[in-house]
């Protein structure tokens, strides 16, 4: 069984040798740029790990794994444009470095390249791999649309939010594991269990991100604290606080989170005070723990020996233990 | 052999019953809107026609045919946004009717839906269908990037332009015919001949569009005359005129086509006068005729009987005889 570090190394090596040298360079330079500036390569690494759970042959899983990474980076490229983000991984986003038209078109080309890599798998597996990928890709777009919708809505519930992050983030992690399982020759039952494991882990991952914005340390996470609060982003923490707060506190929170007029430091401090009063950190940790436990229970049901699963368990543990 | 009208009817019926009812509707309403406002359905009709050239079974070609139409409409959606076009087929474009973020994301989802429809073909043919489609889709994006590049360059040659329209327009028409041939069980040689036929016809089609902007009649074409001239668009006519003009006329033309300060009526009239002096209409017709003749010669080499090919010949004739 290939562990996360080893799978990451395989993927990092493969990506380091990718260079799209087709013309015109205005179209392909941004693709090479986006793929070269890193990221944790979680999704393709999970494809490799899941494949290795069922088979010692993992070579044929590399191209489909890269497909998922390329697709993921395509969604980041277009999302960053929609969100007007200027930085991604501390580098200028494509629409900032080039322009918006180039960002649209190089994103489009990345989604096609993703299918190109995906198609490079054993032909017998191609129909099921394509079906899984396409359904997942639609769901990721749906998640992004919900996220955009939520920006202008003030009636979002915690459950709406959980559904959104399931689509926007969790299903791609789930599909990575399921795809790896299919490529490793797993039974449909095992592939589906790994999907469920990944989906729950994906939600843990996103809730972790929401926590890190407020309780992370700037140095280790590489982002400033409270950026979501300043951007009036409706995270799990905010929505949960609105849900559990009394009327007075809810009104304060709603006022804080619907304006850009507050002093940033003061705004962060006031929102964090409310979080502390309401025990939002603990509530979020508990919720995240539920998803985590469910993920591990599902993993336990996969019909491979306990030892083989340990690397996926280690990966899950690493996710939940990110600095916060 | 299915003729163009019949193939169009099949496709129009299929599209009329498509309705994406997935959520969120903000994402799928624009997809349904774009597919419902029509167009000539040339690409999917060509898939059906080419398939019927080799097989009486055409049912399995319908979904891949729709894939090409959905992909084509996705490119129009994103292109319209890049070009800031407000109308498409006399209806508001998606970014005008909704907004730019919805236009980006509903376009993205259409490209994924195209792959969904494409995957719905006999599994033995899937690898070659996917490879053809993906390579074509990359080329279409490359053509659009060249088109964007040309806007800010003043050194475009007629050959640069012909290469650009080959990628942006002709290869998708070529791929439609080749895909139909593959789905009909044609030999690779015949499929490639139909590709060549379609590629040349695609260039004829685009040169016809360039001509219609200047020499079309407003009523029949549904567009105003001279819009490309007002937009300073580098069409075949303009680039050819710059190529063949003497220095004085070239300077006049370059001045006219690099400014937005002229009175529109006067600008159109002055450019058309230059075209008339230089015989640009006749030069364009002759060039178009060369591509047309080459297309027909290639069609002649396809190894099916003469009668079967007649419907494709009729279609080619219809293309070149559009009102101008």
| pLDDT tens profile A4-25 | 999 999 999 999 998 888 999 9
Instruction: List the one residue out of A145, A142, A123 whose CA is nearest residue A134.
Output: A142
Q: Counting beta carbons within 10 angstroms of the beta carbon of residue B225, is it exposed (0 to 12), middle (13 to 18) or buried (19 or more)? A: middle
The answer to whether A108 contacts B108, with C-beta atoms less than 8 Å apart, is yes
Task: State residue A216's pLDDT score.
Answer: 85
Q: Touching check for B119 and chain A: CB below 8 Å? A: yes
Please, which pLDDT band fits residue B174 given cuts at 50, 70 and 90?
very high
Task: State residue B321's pLDDT score.
Answer: 81
Task: State residue B324's pLDDT score.
Answer: 42
Q: A121 to chain B: nearest residue by CA?
A: B127
- Asked if pLDDT for residue B55 goes beyond 60, the answer is yes
CB B7 within 8 A of CB B318: no
Look at phi and psi of residue A86 and say left if phi exceeds 0, alpha if psi is from -120 to 50, else beta.
alpha
- Asked if pLDDT for residue A323 goes beyond 80, the answer is no
The model's pTM is: 0.96
**What are the pLDDT digits (tens) for B5-41?**
999 999 999 999 998 889 999 999 999 999 999 899 9
Q: Which of A81, A113, A126 sits opposite B126 (nearest CB)?
A: A126
Token look-up 């319209």 returns: B80
Q: Counting beta carbons within 10 angstroms of the beta carbon of residue A98, is it exposed (0 to 12), middle (13 to 18) or buried (19 or more)? A: middle
- Give B89's DSSP letter: T
Q: Counting beta carbons within 10 angstroms of the beta carbon of residue B286, is it exposed (0 to 12), middle (13 to 18) or buried (19 or more)? A: exposed
Q: Which of A115, A116, A144 sits opposite B105 (nearest CB)?
A: A144
Work out the percent of chain A whose per-residue pLDDT is above 90. 90
**What are the pLDDT digits (tens) for A111-138?**
999 999 999 999 999 999 999 999 999 9
Please, which pLDDT band fits residue B322 given cuts at 50, 70 and 90?
confident
Task: Quote the minimal CA–CA distance from A149 to chain B in Å.
Answer: 8
Q: Which of B 49-88 lie inside 8 A of A, CB atoms?
A: 78, 81-82
For residue B92, which phi and psi values (nearest 5 degrees)? -60, 140
d(CA B182, CA B19): 28
Q: Counting beta carbons within 10 angstroms of the beta carbon of residue B96, is it exposed (0 to 12), middle (13 to 18) or buried (19 or more)? A: middle
- Give A3's DSSP letter: -
Q: Touching check for B108 and chain A: CB below 8 Å? A: yes
Please, which pLDDT band fits residue A324 given cuts at 50, 70 and 90?
very low
- What end-to-end distance do the CA atoms of chain B give, in Å? 30
**What are the pLDDT digits (tens) for A217-251?**
765 555 678 999 999 999 999 999 999 999 999 99
Helix, coil or strand: residue A180: helix
Q: Which residues of A touch B81 (CB under 8 A)?
A: 104
Q: Which residues of B touch A108 (CB under 8 A)?
A: 78, 107-108, 111, 141
Complete domains list, chain A, with CATH: 4-317 (1.10.600.10)
CB A183 within 8 A of CB A125: yes
Q: Which of B78, B113, B146 sits opposite A24 (nearest CB)?
A: B146
Q: Which residues of B touch A24 (CB under 8 A)?
A: 142, 145-146, 149
ipTM score assigned to the predicted complex: 0.95
Q: Which residues of B touch A142 (CB under 8 A)?
A: 22-24, 27, 109
The answer to whether B142 contacts A108, with C-beta atoms less than 8 Å apart, is no
- Asked if pLDDT for residue A303 goes beyond 70, the answer is yes
Greatest mean pLDDT among A218-227, A258-267, B147-156, B169-178 lies in B169-178
Look at phi and psi of residue B239 and say left if phi exceeds 0, alpha if psi is from -120 to 50, else beta.
alpha
Q: Touching check for A126 and chain B: CB below 8 Å? A: yes
H/E run at residue A87: strand A87-88
Q: A118 to chain B: nearest residue by CA?
A: B130
Q: Touching check for A120 and chain B: CB below 8 Å? A: no
Residue range B204-231: mean pLDDT, rounded: 84
- Give A168's DSSP letter: I
Q: Which residues of B touch A134 (CB under 8 A)?
A: 112, 115-116, 119
H/E run at residue A23: none
Q: A81 to chain B: nearest residue by CA?
A: B101
CB A63 within 8 A of CB A195: no
Residue range B86-90: mean pLDDT, rounded: 93
Q: Touching check for B112 and chain A: CB below 8 Å? A: yes
**What are the pLDDT digits (tens) for A39-80?**
999 999 999 999 999 999 999 999 999 999 999 999 999 999
Give strand pairing partners of B88: B91
Token look-up 């994006």 returns: B141
For residue A3, which phi and psi values (nearest 5 degrees)? -85, 175
- Asked if pLDDT for residue B219 goes beyond 60, the answer is no
Helix, coil or strand: residue A41: coil
- Give the number of beta-carbon pairs within 8 Å between A and B: 109
Task: State residue A222's pLDDT score.
Answer: 55
User: Which residues, 6+ apart, have CB-to-CB distance to A17 below 8 Å?
Assistant: none
Task: State residue B222's pLDDT score.
Answer: 55
Helix, coil or strand: residue A24: coil
The answer to whether B26 contacts A148, with C-beta atoms less than 8 Å apart, is yes
Helix, coil or strand: residue A88: strand
d(CA A178, CA A171): 10
Task: State residue B320's pLDDT score.
Answer: 81
Q: For the residues of B238-270, what is the DSSP string, one character each?
A: HHHHHHHS-HHHHHHHHHHTT-S-S-HHHHHHH
Q: Which residues of B touch A151 (CB under 8 A)?
A: none
Please, which pLDDT band fits residue A38 given cuts at 50, 70 and 90?
confident
Q: Cα separations (Å) of A310 from A1, A306, A313, B187? A: 9, 7, 5, 51
């Amino acid at each position: 069984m290939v562990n996360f570090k080893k799978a990451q190394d395989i993927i990092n090596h493969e990506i380091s040798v990718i260079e799209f040298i087709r013309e015109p360079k205005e179209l392909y330079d941004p693709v090479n740029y986006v793929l070269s500036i890193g990221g944790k390569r979680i999704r393709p690494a999970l494809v490799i790990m899941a494949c290795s759970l069922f088979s010692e042959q993992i070579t044929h899983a590399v191209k489909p794994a890269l497909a998922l990474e390329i697709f993921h980076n395509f969604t980041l490229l277009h999302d960053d444009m929609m969100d007007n983000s200027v930085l991604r991984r501390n580098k200028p986003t494509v629409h900032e470095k080039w322009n918006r038209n180039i960002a649209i078109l190089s994103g489009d080309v990345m989604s096609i390249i993703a299918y190109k890599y995906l198609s490079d798998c054993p032909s017998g597996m191609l129909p099921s791999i394509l079906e899984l990928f396409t359904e997942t890709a639609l769901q990721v777009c749906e998640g992004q649309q919900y996220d955009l919708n939520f920006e202008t809505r003030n009636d979002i519930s915690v459950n709406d939010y959980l559904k959104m992050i399931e689509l926007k983030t969790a299903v791609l992690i789930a599909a990575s594991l399921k795809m790896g399982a299919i490529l490793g020759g797993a039974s449909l039952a095992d592939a589906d269990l790994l999907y469920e494991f990944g989906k729950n882990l994906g939600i843990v991952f996103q809730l972790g991100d929401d926590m890190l914005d407020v309780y992370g340390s700037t140095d280790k996470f590489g982002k400033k604290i409270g950026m979501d609060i300043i951007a009036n982003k409706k995270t799990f923490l905010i929505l949960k606080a609105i849900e559990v707060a009394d009327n007075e506190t809810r009104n304060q929170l709603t006022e804080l989170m619907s304006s850009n007029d507050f002093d940033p430091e003061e705004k962060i401090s006031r929102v964090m005070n409310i979080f502390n009063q309401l025990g939002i950190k603990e509530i979020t940790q508990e919720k995240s723990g539920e998803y985590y436990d469910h993920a591990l229970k599902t993993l336990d049901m996969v019909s491979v020996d306990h030892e083989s699963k340990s690397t996926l368990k280690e990966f899950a543990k690493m996710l939940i233990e990110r600095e916060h």
